Chains A and B, each alone.
Chain A
Amino acid sequence: MARATSRTRIAVSTAAAWIVGLAIFFPILWMVLASFKTELDAFAIPPKFLFFDWTLENYGVVQKRSDYVLHAYNSIVIAGGATLIALLIAIPAAWAMAFAPTKRTRGTLLWMLSTKMMPPVGVLVPMYLFFRDVGLLDTRAGLIGVLCLGNLPIVIWMLFTYFKEVPKDILEAARMDGATLAKELIFVLAPMSVPGIASTLLLNFILAWNEAFWTLNLSSADAAPLTVFIASYSSPEGLFWAKLSAASTLAIAPILVLGWLSQRQLVRGLTFGAVK
């Protein structure tokens, strides 16, 4: 009897999980479907779900009109560069805060987070002037710098919480065995925090990939990533939903694949320390 109950329970919770999962995924699915529709089908009322004339025309138009490869390359370089540099800065910083705290550590952590509380548009003009004067407008290096600094507080916070879970004693033991600080970081702390570092890396890569304020405002032609690519297909006067969907599908494809491949790491990292 108990077995039957638990089976029903499993069935119910599986069904519930599927429903929630599908509900969350539905907008993306709808976008992908719309990218294979004609413009007329894309806004048909009632909406057409699967039975429409499938077409690749939109992808052809998008390919012809804009340089997807250049935008995708820029996205990879900018998001990847920003994430890696942020990690290089954040790992030592988080180590210091987790294992050698001072009385100001808490305050510093809060202060760092507070920089994320201001809407970025508030500093757009000063940033723009600065970028203009140092010649960083429309350069990948400039965008890497901005996104790296923008995400740094989150990277440090995430790593800090993961490092807090690592027992201090292990690091102390390494030190007793004569490990230098660099060795302690590279050979002891880093391997133990791989899930944490991996999920931090992935999450920040996604954040940098999707960042649309600075990338739109500080780039024009040469350094423009995929966010600019999508923005070029949105129009207040004209229904180009199918083409916009095709552009969006192309823009999220690389990150979707990356997320799919690393979902195990991601889930492990995000729940790291939750269950002991």
Chain B
Amino acid sequence: MKASLGAFIAATALCATSVAYADTTLTIATVNNGDMVRMQGLTDDFTSKNPGITVKWVTLEENVLRQRVTTDIATKGGQFDILTIGTYEVPIWAKKGWLVPLDKLGSDYDVDDLMPKIRAALSVNGTLFAAPFYAESSMVMYRKDLIAKAGLTMPDSPTWDFIANAARKMTDKSAEVYGICLRGKAGWGENMAFLTAMSNSFGARWFDEKWQPQFNSPEWKKTLEFYVSLMKDAGPPGASSNGFNENLALFDAGKCGMWIDATVAASFVTNPKDSKVADQVGFALAPNTGLGKNANWLWAWSLAVPAGSQKVDAAEKFVSWATSKAYLALVASKEGWANVPPGTRTSLYQNADYLKAAPFAKMTLDSINSADPDHPTVKPVPYVGVQYAAIPEFQGIGTAVGQQFSAALSGDKSIDDALAAAQTATEREMERAGYYKK
């Protein structure tokens, strides 16, 4: 009896070790965006091609996810094997040595097919630290019927003056139609993503070459004055609490003439299941003021492997699978070309089937190509990033400045006061962080 019990225990232990060796479980942290949810649904394709690897998903709201994975990676907690992060985090985290360089993605991965701008944004000194899953820029979405009614034709690359004029003409407040819907809700990823991109087109910048904040410059004043007066004349009421979702709801309900926001919105507003105006939407490049910069941003949700992971090989296999050309073809075969994650691979934009299925494809490509994270604005800057500056302090500063600008939009503060407060707050934070001494 004793012997058989011993044998049983030994057999169980042996079994347990062999199972533990053969089975690798990858824990993947990701955001709740349509393309990511689709990827979760297609996990079986990966696990069937890679027996022995199972996948667990942790899906969280973007801001919760950012806090969660930042805590984990900064403390080397090792809870996740793959992280979904954006172009803002990648350069900061890679420099800290928190990410595994992705140089073993397989011979058929075709890394040169990645869009050059996106690849650059996810690389440090030429080494790729995160693989882009989908990329987005921002552009003008407009109602063809309303602009025709206003007697105007939208050019492919409109100026801000054209946009402002069109917005005022399209506005019919008695019918609750507003010429333009723009972000107003405070936050570094909310109104500041839009306003920073807008300010680039007006020639403004966050910092000069010596890291001095520039909110006292005439360019910022011009940007903010233009934005506030346009929104007063042609924006929806209560715009200072509108973010992406609120504007999407307004646009889908037919209450906005134009909306300047993420290119990913194109698939929502043209989907008749969600949008009342699906067949009336046109697209144009984000506006400019003739200074050579358009008001569009650049962002790529990307997959990265934390340096603390014990399962780097399996994790790299997954990253390679999810960001490969074959994955795009897989999504197309299951859900149609219009649902393929956009913006990451050059070959996708040479695919006739995709161009036919996605009417917004060309504008997305042009928008991504016209954003330059290394030279975001007219004057030189010491930071990388179009709608943000890729420094750890930016989240805090961006949100503080965003609150000032949101107050200027709602009329609680004058434009001059908001700019002065933004300048003081940013100076204080940058000095404290040691970028310069007074």
Contacts and interface: CB of A to CB of B under 8 A. Distances in A.
Contacts of B250: 45
A217 B68 contact: yes
Q: Which of B32, B74, B75, B80 has the most CB of A within 10 A?
A: B32
A113 interface: no
Interface in A218-234: 220-222, 224, 228, 231-234
A205 to B, nearest CB: 24
Interface stretch (A2-10, A124-132, A174-182, A248-256): A124-132
The secondary-structure label for the interface of chain B is mixed
B39 to A, nearest CB: 12
5 contacts: A40-B276, A66-B59, A217-B71, A233-B32, A236-B243
Contacts of A128: 71-72, 75, 77
A216 B58 contact: no
B208 interface: no
A124 B67 CA distance: 11
Contacts of A38: 273
Interface of B: 27, 29, 31-34, 37, 40-41, 56-64, 67-68, 71-72, 74-80, 189-190, 243-245, 248-250, 252-253, 255, 262, 264-265, 268, 273-276
Interface in A105-158: 124-125, 128-129, 132, 137-138
A68 interface: no
A247 to B, nearest CB: 10
Contact of B58 (A221, A233, A238): A221
Contact of A224 (B58, B244, B264): B58
Given A231-B64, A235-B62, A237-B33, A125 B75 contact: yes
A216 B274 contact: no
Contacts of B276: 40
B32 A234 contact: yes
B61 A221 contact: no
A138 B189 CA distance: 29
A258 interface: no
A276 interface: no
A211 interface: no
Nearest to A39: B274
B68 A216 contact: yes
Contacts of A45: 249-250, 253, 255
Contact of A137 (B37, B59, B63, B79): B79
A220 B65 CA distance: 11
A205 B34 CA distance: 34
A224 B31 CA distance: 16
Contacts of B274: 39-40, 239
Nearest to B30: A232
A125 B171 CA distance: 50
A132 B78 contact: yes
Contacts of B244: 236-237
B29 A220 contact: yes
Contacts of A222: 56
Given A45-B250, A216-B68, A235-B32, 13 more contacts: A39-B273, A39-B274, A125-B71, A128-B71, A128-B72, A217-B68, A220-B58, A220-B79, A221-B57, A236-B63, A237-B265, A238-B245, A238-B268
